[in-house]
Amino acid sequence: MESKTNDQLSNFWRLSINDAFKLLETQATGIGTAEAIKRLKQYGANTLKKANRFNNLIILFSQFKSPVTLLLIAAALLSAALGDTADTLIIMIIVLISSLLGFWQERGAASAVSELLKMVQLHCTVLRDNRKTELEVTAVVPGDVICLSAGDIIPADGLVLESEALFVDEAAFTGESYPVEKNPGVESVDAPLARRNNCLFMGSSVVSGIGKALIVTTGQQTEFGKISDKLSLRIPETDFEKGIRKFGYMLMEITLLLVLVIFAVNVLLHKPALDSFLFSLALAVGLTPQLLPAIISVNLSVGARSMASQKVIVKRLSAIENFGSMNILCSDKTGTITEGKVTLKETLDFEGVHSDKVFKYAWLNASCQQGFVNPIDKAICSVHYEGNEAKDFSAITEVPYDFVRKRLTVQVKIPAANIAITKGAVRQVLDICNRVEISAGILADIGDHKEAILAQYQLLSDSGLRTLGVSYKEVGPDQIFTRENEHDMIFLGFITLFDPPRAGMFDTIQKLQHLGVRLKIITGDNAPVARNLAKQLGLSSAQVLTGQEIRNMSSAALRHKAPLTHIFAEVEPSQKERIISVLKKAGNVVGFMGDGINDAPALHTADVGISVNSAVDVAKEAADIVLLDQDLNVLCDGIIEGRKTFTNTMKYIFMATSANFGNMFSMAGASLFLPFLPLLPKQILLTNLLTDFPEMTISSDRVDDINLKTPQRWNLGFIKRFMIVFGLLSSVFDYLTFAVLIFILHANQKVFQTGWFTESVVSAVLIVLVVRTRLSFFKSLPGKYLSITTIAILLLVLMIPYSPLASIFGFVALSWKYYMLMLATVTAYILSAELAKRWFYKKIK
C-alpha cells in the first residue's frame, strides 16, 4: 500500500487537490506541530546537504589526500616490511600529528562558520496548527501548506492550491527565461516538467503574485535533489582560489622535479635506494606547505567571526578574500545610497497641477496589488485617503509588475465604475495610452499633448523626484482585464516621490575611495534623477550611462566606458549582470550589493555578492555576504577585515615557501657532497612539523596599515620572486652552517644532523618575524600568539638533543662552541633578511 502511495505521489502533478490531501493525510489548513515533528524524523531535514558526521570524515580524510603524503605513507610501510619498524612508526606518527592538526583547525573553522550561517537562514511561511508560522526551510515536511508571495524561494516540491497572478522563475529547470504562471489544476501523467503548471519546484522563486501550495516531496526527493548531482552546480572560482590553484601547480612541478633529481643522484652515488627515496619524499613534504588548506580555512573563519561582530555575515568563506581584493563596488540606489524610506511628495495632472483624482487612482492601484510589497506602494498607501471608495472597493484581478513592461495594472470595482488602473514608468505607461484627461471628464488625443507630458516629466526628474505615470480605462462589468487589454488607455497624470540620501553617505563614499574602492550606482531611475542624486553626494562631475546607451553599445565599447562611469541609470535587470561581467573582464574585482528579486543574476555574477538580511529570499540566497545592518559603513569595516584575512593568508605562503624552499634546496645540495644524508627522513618531517606550529597562529597576527589601504590581489609572479630571493638567501646561511659543522667542528653524521636540524628550525622560526611584514621588525611587532609559539618552539628545539627524544630521532648533544657559532650565523641571517626585504619591496613589484 505504501509503495502504491509513493508511486502516486511521484507523479503528483496528475493528482487532484483532494486526492493529494488524502495521500499525504493533511488538509488545506496544514498539519499540526506534533505531526510535523514525526514527519521530520521520518523524511529528514529539507536540505540537499549531508549530515555533519560525514562532513567531519571528509575533512579528516582530506588531510591525507596529498599525493606526496600518500607516497610517503606507502614508502614508510615498505620500510617496515624491510624491517625498519622504528623509523616507520616515527614517520607515520609525525604525518598523523600533522594531519590531525589540520583536521582540528579546519573542523573548528567549519563549526564556527556553521554557527554564523544560522543567522541568515532562509525562512518560509507555513500553516501549522491552523495559523501562519515562520519556519526555517529545513523544517518543512511533506503535508505542509506554505504561503507564497513575490521574492520567496520555493522550499520544496509541491502542488498549487491557490494562486493570484502567481508567476514563478523556473529558469534553472527549464531554461525558460520568462516567468511561468502557476494555477491549481491537474496535468496529464506524461506532462514534461516545463508544462506542469500546477506544480512548484524547490529552488525556483516567486516573481509576482501570491499563492498557497501543498508540499509533496522534500530534500533529496525533490526534482532539484534528483538532478543536483548531475547539474554543474560548481560556483565559479574566486580570484584568490584561482591563485591558490596555480600556486599548487607550481609547487607540484618543483616538487616532482626535486624528487626525481635527488633520488636519481643519490642512487648514482650508491646510497641506499630506499633511504634515498624516503629522503627525496621527505624533501618534497618539506617543500609543500602541508597546512595551507587548514591555515586558509582558519584565517577565513577568524575573518568571518570578526566580520560578524561588524554585522557582516559571510555565507561563502572564499568570498572574504575577494572582499579584500575588491576595487569596484556596484550598488543599488534605494535603501543603500538612499534612506530607503520613499515618501509620496505630490500627485499631479499632465500639466503638473495637483490632482486629487490622480491620488485616488494611485491609492486604489497600490492598495489592490497583491505582488511584492515595495516601498513605492507602501509610500502611497501610508497617506490617508478619505474618499468614498476608501472602504467600498474590491480588487477583481491584477496584471503584475514585471521588469519588461515596467508597469502594474489592477482591475478594481468601485461604486461608480469597474476600471483598470495602470501605474508605472512614465514612458511605458504612455506607450499604452491613446488619450489624456485634460480636465475632469474631458479627454484629448495623446498625440497633441505627448511632448508637453514628456517635458513635464523631464522637469520633475531634473528636480530629483522619482516620477511615475498613472493611466486608466473603464472595463465592462463582465470583463476580466488581462495583459492583452493594456492598450487604448487614458493618461491621467504623475506621482512624484523622493528618497533622500542616507545621512553621512558623502563621508562613506570618501572612505571607500580612500580604501581604493570605487562606488558605482546602478539604478532603474532615469538619468536626471540619478544626476541629481550624484550632486547631493558631491559627485558633481559624475559620468552617467543609461540603459538605452548600454543596449546600443558593443561589449568592447562598454568595457572601455563602464570603468569610467559613476552612475548607470534606467538600467534593466539583465543589464546589471552585463555591467558586472564587463567590469570583471576589464580586470577588476567587482562587488554588487542588491536586495531585490531582479538582483539575483547580478549577485551570482559578481566576485562578491552582497545583500541584506531584510532582502527577498532569492537575493539573500544568491549573495555571498549578508549585512545585518543596511549601511555601507558596515561594508567599509568588512573590506578591512577581508584585507586582514588576505594578508595573513599570504604571510603563511611567503613564510612557508621561502623558508621551505631554502631548506630543501640546501639539503638537496648537501646530499650530493656528503657521504651521508644531511637529515634523515624522520628528522626532515620533524623540522617541517615544528616550523608549522608558529605559522598556525598567523590568523591572529597584527596587520600593518599599509596592507589595509589598497585592494589586495593575488600575484603568483611576486610569490615566485619572493620564494627565490629569500629561499636563496636562506641557503647561503645554510651552507655557511655546513661549513662551520664540517671544517670547524669536524662533525660526524649525528653531530651534523643534530646541528643542522637545530639551526634549520631556529632560523626558520625567527625568519617568520621578518618576512611577516614589509616594515622593520621593530616597527611591526608580531601578535601575542605568534610570539608565544615562537618562543615555545625555540626552547623545545634547544632541549630536544638533551631529552629522551634524542635517541628516537638520532640526535646527540652539541658543544657550547656550536651554539655560539649558530647564534652568530642566525643573527647575520636575520639582519641580512631585513636588508634584503627593504631592497625587495623597493625594487620588485
Catalytic residues: 332
Apex CA 794: angle with CA 282 and CA 291, to 5°?
40
- Pinpoint the alpha helices (H) of 129-215: 171-174
**780 DSSP assignment:** S
- Find cell 504561503 and name the residue: 147
Closest CA to 346 of 457, 524, 465, 462: 465
Return the C-alpha cell found at 367: 492598495
Cα–Cα dist 171/177, whole Å: 6
Closest CA to 796 of 826, 834, 758, 768: 758
Number of neighbouring beta carbons within 10 Å of residue 760: 28
Could you give the 3-state DSSP secondary structure of residue 494? strand
Cα–Cα dist 776/373, whole Å: 57
Number of neighbouring beta carbons within 10 Å of residue 799: 11
Return the C-alpha cell found at 213: 501550495
Apex CA 344: angle with CA 338 and CA 350, to 5°?
120
Return the C-alpha cell found at 664: 630543501
Cα–Cα dist 66/435, whole Å: 74
| Secondary structure (DSSP) of 394-455 | EEEEEE---TTT-EEEEEEEETTEEEEEEEEEHHHHHTTEEEEEEETTEEEEGGGTHHHHHH
Cα–Cα dist 96/90, whole Å: 10
Cα–Cα dist 567/338, whole Å: 14
Cα–Cα dist 282/91, whole Å: 9
Closest CA to 183 of 200, 205, 162, 168: 162
Q: φ, ψ for residue 269 (rounded to 5)?
A: -90, 10
CB 101 within 8 A of CB 696: yes
- Find cell 501610508 and name the residue: 382
Return the C-alpha cell found at 192: 514534461
Closest CA to 493 of 460, 464, 526: 460
Residue type, 785: Y
Cα–Cα dist 236/203, whole Å: 19
If residue 185 lies in a helix (H) or strand (E), which one and from where to where?
none
- Bridge-based pairing state of the strands 567-569 and 544-546: parallel
Cα–Cα dist 273/269, whole Å: 10
Q: φ, ψ for residue 31 (rounded to 5)?
A: -110, 170
Number of neighbouring beta carbons within 10 Å of residue 802: 12
Closest CA to 606 of 577, 638, 645, 567: 577
- Find cell 602541508 and name the residue: 290
Considering Cα of 790, then 794, then 795, then 800, what sign does the dihedral take? positive
CB 731 within 8 A of CB 665: yes
